[in-house]
Amino acid sequence: MSMLEFHRGRRLRMSATLREMVRETEIRPQDLIMLYFVAETDDTDFRKPIESMPGQYQLSLAQLEKQVAKAVDNGLRSLMLFGIPAHKDELASQAYDEQGIVQRAIRMIKSKWPDLVVIADTCLCEYTSHGHCGMVSKEGEVLNDPTLNLLAQTAVAQAEAGADIVAPSDMMDGRVGAIREGLDNAGYQNTPIMSYAVKYASAFYGPFREAAESAPQFGDRKTYQMDPGNALEAMREAAADVEEGADILMVKPALPYLDVLRTVRDSFDTPMAAYQVSGEYSMIKAAAQNGWIDEKAIVMESLIAIKRAGADMILTYFTEDVLETLKG
């Protein structure tokens, strides 16, 4: 039998060094964005474990500073902030208040680490008394257009505080355009928008809502976030956001939506982000705590899969752990 009759794929797998040389996708520190929950509190020692997300915390400003310092030592390049305000109201006023907790956290981080890329999640759900991402009518409808101005105000407040990127996650129609206009009018033409362009109404966000204390008090988010059955619709959402001025597109969640990520990647030439969400994190943590899986290996394999499917950057709660692994 001729030796050429079958493909000898094993040839290039025979040693670790060889496998490394032919590896197509690798995770680098600059691919990863860490997520932090910063709480408005006078207690500087405040560091509250999030039960449904083992290893993640709500942090006071002082604790956040400590946590970020350690991560920067390990090679952290970028982070995204979520705020837990002391007061919520119908108008989400703490989202755009100059003294809002995220604005204070941005100023603190940028003064200590000017080179860190600080991304602000631009949304109202952590700040509204009802927990929805937009204004709500008397009848309980989440209102689209009246929300846009508040989102733009929030993005401007974040940019004023020093945010390098704003990331609208609310899924109101037209918000990227409204935010772009708001930023430009305020003199922030150079602040990029990372749009949560393709964001599904997903049960994988469950643990996050405990973490950010942002669960809707009535109803759900299905009238604004996407239906999990829809992939073609992802193209319409992405196209609209690019048209309105999005600089980076995001698909969220990540691992259960790799098909969508690949399709969007192939159709748009903007940088692509993927968000490995709280539920993806917690499932891995829970299985690992039971001794059922090898956490480090599963985390790396998941991130490689997300990057292989087309993500240029990944928002993941595992960022700090992976940076440590990559360093060691």
**Closest approach of ligand PBG to the CB of residue 272, in Å:** 17
Q: List CB contacts of 94: < 8 A, sequence separation 6 or more.
A: 40, 83, 85, 86, 87, 88, 100, 101, 127
Based on CB atoms, which residue is closest to ligand PBG, 79 or 125? Answer: 125
**Which residue of the set 66, 110, 252, 296 is catalytic?**
252
Q: Tokens for 2?
A: 């001729």
> CB of residue 257 vs ligand PBG: minimum separation in angstroms?
13
Residue 1 CB, nearest distance to ligand PBG (Å)? 54
Question: Choosing from 199, 222, 307, 327, which is the catalytic residue?
Answer: 199
Minimum CB–partner distance for residue 22 and ligand PBG (Å): 34
Footprint on this chain of ligand PBG (rule: CB under 6 A): 121, 123, 125, 133, 169-170, 205, 208-209, 221, 277-278
Q: State yes or no: is 199 an active-site residue.
A: yes
Between the two ends of the chain, the Cα-to-Cα distance in Å is: 47
**For ligand PBG, the closer CB: 44 or 223:** 223
In total, the chain counts a number of residues equal to: 328
Nearest approach, Cβ of 303 to ligand PBG (angstroms)? 15
Smaller CB distance to ligand PBG: residue 73 or 90? 90
Q: How far is the CB of 111 from ligand PBG (least distance, A)?
A: 25
Which stretches within the chain are classed as H helix? Answer: 16-21, 61-73, 93-96, 101-112, 145-161, 175-185, 206-211, 232-244, 258-267, 278-289, 295-308, 319-327
Please report, to the nearest 10 degrees, the dihedral formed by the alpha carbons of residues 200, 203, 205, 206 taken in order. 160
Residue in the shown chain whose Cβ atom is closest to ligand PBG? 208
**Known catalytic residue at 285:** no
Quick one: 45 or 50, whose CB is closer to ligand PBG?
50
Say which residues have a Cβ less than 8 Å from residue 182's Cβ, sequence separation at least 6. 149, 152, 153, 155, 156
Please answer whether residues 131 and 214 qualify as being in contact, where contact means their C-beta atoms are separated by less than 8 angstroms. Answer: yes
Q: From residue 46, give the alpha-carbon distance in Å to each of 42, 60, 207, 259, 278.
A: 8, 5, 20, 40, 21
Pairing outcome for strands 165-168 and 117-122: parallel
Q: For residue 106, what are the contacts with CB-CB under 8 A and spacing of at least 6?
A: 81, 118, 120, 158, 161, 162, 163
Nearer Cβ to ligand PBG, position 77 or 221? 221
**Minimum CB separation from ligand PBG for residue 131, in Å?**
9
Q: Which two tokens stand for residue 274?
A: 């993927």
Q: Using alpha carbons only, give the angle 282, 284, 289 rounded to the nearest 5 degrees.
A: 90
**Closer Cβ to ligand PBG, 67 or 169, answer by number:** 169
**Which is closer to ligand PBG, CB of 110 or CB of 209?**
209
Residues annotated as catalytic (active site), given as ranges? 199, 252
